[in-house]
Amino acid sequence: MTFTTRPEIAGTFGVATSTHWIASAVGMKILEQGGNAFDAAAAMGFVLHVVEPHLNGPLGDMPMLIKPAGSETPTMVCGQGTAPAGATIAHYRDQGLQRIPGTGLLATVIPGAFDAWMITLRDHGSLPLRDILEPAIHYAEFGHPALPRVANTIAGLAEFFHEEWPTSYDTWIPGGSAPVAGALMRNAQLAATWQRLLNEAETVGDRTAQFEKARQVFYRGFIAEAIDHFLRDACVMDASGHRHKGVLTGQDMAEWQAGYEPPISTSYHDWTVWKGGLWTQGPTLLQSLNLLTGFDLNAADDVEFVHLVTEAMKLSFADREAYYGDPTQVDIPIDTLLSAEYADARRALISASASTDQRPGRLPGYEHWVDAALTHASEAYQPADQIGAGEPTMAHLTEKRGDTVHLDVIDRWGNMVSATPSGGWLQSSPVVPGLGMPLNTRAQMFWLEEGLPTSLAPGRRPRTTLSPSMARAPDGSELAFGTPGGDQQDQWQLIYLLRLVHHGMNLQEAIDAPLFHTAHFQSSFYPRETRPGHLMIEPGFGSEAIANLQARGHKIEQAEPWTVGRLTAARRQTDGLLHAAATPRLMQAYAIGR
């Protein structure tokens, strides 16, 4: 047995795992009081808004895979809002912009996470809305221990908040005192917002009607009205170094709603793996698996494993840059991209040496998309400035950039949830007056040029990095897993899954094993840089292996020990036995179960 930092949790009643121990404890509490996995996941999600406000918020976004007990396949819940009606390329170009800033009001799309939670609870949950929201209201009103990264982020932005985003200063630095790591931190405005929403929702008696009322209050009631009123006049500093007004309106919010859609999948060594559609980066994991079917990873040593996986990821992410986008708006050749024939042709590009080229596949009729991706990757980008917030790698995390959270839940009936909430970071956008929550910045993933699957357009979803996962093993056991980490999400998840498939590890062993990733391809986040040939790797692989990888041409960036990845996972065996695990990295995530 491989050394692990903590046990793999096992039981039969339920498991809850997330990127913060308080959220995991709340999830278990909801299961204990009779709620199901959907109730627990939602309560965890709202608590994560409170305890990890630098990583997600109520006005953010969320894709979620759910698998109700007895269902043969999962369903994707789309909590990714679309670009507002006023978000046109012409308008942004008229502001003198070549790229959408990584922070501020122009980077905002319609907030999607809340509606995704509400329709899931309406259709699959069992508890009333009060039981879901009360834990978050409690921690927002009475306080929770401030994470060091939260305290450092706020302290580092205190002057900027005071000068440029006064509503954020009032929320995060009440009375002029920034939170201290480990001390109680509150968000009284957020608690009041949720309490008012709850009070209004409870004016109707029926449980289903309460969730519909909550949706109405959020998207057409006082929350939407506050956002609309603020954005009519607000003109704030953003990552471009200039002040801009936003384009989101209350009408945009009123006309949007979350929905369900089928995920996409592939088979790998008799496993079935499900990911979100092409509006996420999830299909990169599936493409990478298809590429790797042609290699004997069972026999690969560490050097060969890291090399082959990295080179496969470079190819799949190159296709992400050329082809992925909102499939409801653009015709994308997904069947070709996921075909065995395409993988066979692409696999021939992988050699014994590291590639430093961007190599998307050139499919007939889509050459202009490929050419645009290559042009973007060749352009020089300036580093993000003080408030250039985007999801970074967890290694060498700057305190001023946002990231994401993740949670997985399985209950005793076999209901499963894997959710990756993000956006609405405290450092991404000013707090909306009176609400205690900032807007999201997911629009930074659009390009300001016409004719691409990721061109900015009203009603279009940005191609998000958010990417929960589910899988079924050959023995019938089912797995929910995921991680924060922006462009790294489907890299770390791929490595994790491969270790389960090829190395025979349990959930915790596979999480604790050393990780790596590449920033070779175009970043999804402002300022959209590329680092050809880059390979970030944890020292746990050993100096000899790292030297051998460098000899193969990889441009090594050695991470500090235990700094890469924030994976969590939960599994259900066919006999009903449940397992869960969480990363020790950053000393926040925890798995709970019995």
**How much is the pLDDT for 386?**
43
Phi, psi of 568 (to 5 degrees): -135, 160
The 10s digit of each residue's pLDDT in 278-296 is 999 999 999 999 999 999 9
- The answer to whether 528 touches 522, Cβ cutoff 8 Å, is yes
The two three-digit tokens of residue 57, written as one number: 């918020």
For range 483-504, the mean pLDDT: 97
The 10s digit of each residue's pLDDT in 25-51 is 999 999 999 999 999 999 999 999 999
Residue 289's CB is within 10 A of a number of other CB atoms, namely 24
pLDDT reading at 392 higher than 70: no
Burial of 392 (0-12, 13-18, 19+ CB in 10 A): buried
For range 461-485, the mean pLDDT: 98
User: Residue 380 — very low, low, confident or very high, per pLDDT cuts 50/70/90?
Assistant: low
Q: Which stretch of DSSP H or E encloses residue 163?
A: helix 148-163
Highest mean pLDDT among 272-276, 400-404, 584-588: 272-276
User: Residue 396 — very low, low, confident or very high, per pLDDT cuts 50/70/90?
Assistant: very low
The 10s digit of each residue's pLDDT in 212-271 is 999 999 999 999 999 999 999 999 999 999 999 999 999 999 999 999 999 999 999 999
The two three-digit tokens of residue 283, written as one number: 């299909």
User: Residue 388 — very low, low, confident or very high, per pLDDT cuts 50/70/90?
Assistant: very low
CA–CA separation, 99 vs 528, rounded Å? 9
**How much is the pLDDT for 567?**
98
- The answer to whether 386 touches 158, Cβ cutoff 8 Å, is no
pLDDT reading at 89 higher than 70: yes
Across the chain, mean pLDDT equals: 95
User: Residue 382 — very low, low, confident or very high, per pLDDT cuts 50/70/90?
Assistant: low
The two three-digit tokens of residue 354, written as one number: 């590291």
**How much is the pLDDT for 2?**
73
The two three-digit tokens of residue 36, written as one number: 């199901």
Domain spans, the chain = 15-260+400-445, 265-383+471-584
How many percent of the chain have pLDDT more than 90? 95
Least confident span in 177-186, 293-302, 399-408, 528-537: 399-408
For range 144-171, the mean pLDDT: 96
User: Residue 3 — very low, low, confident or very high, per pLDDT cuts 50/70/90?
Assistant: confident
For range 463-485, the mean pLDDT: 98
Phi, psi of 46 (to 5 degrees): -70, -35
Q: Which residue type, as a one-letter code, is found at position 159? A: E
> Tokens 């894709």, residue?
63
pLDDT reading at 398 higher than 80: no
The 10s digit of each residue's pLDDT in 93-131 is 999 999 999 999 999 999 999 999 999 999 999 999 999
Determine the topology of domain 265-383+471-584 in CATH.
Answer: Serum Albumin; Chain A, Domain 1 (1.10.246)
For range 446-458, the mean pLDDT: 98
The 10s digit of each residue's pLDDT in 190-218 is 999 999 999 999 999 899 999 999 999 99
How many percent of the chain have pLDDT more than 70? 96
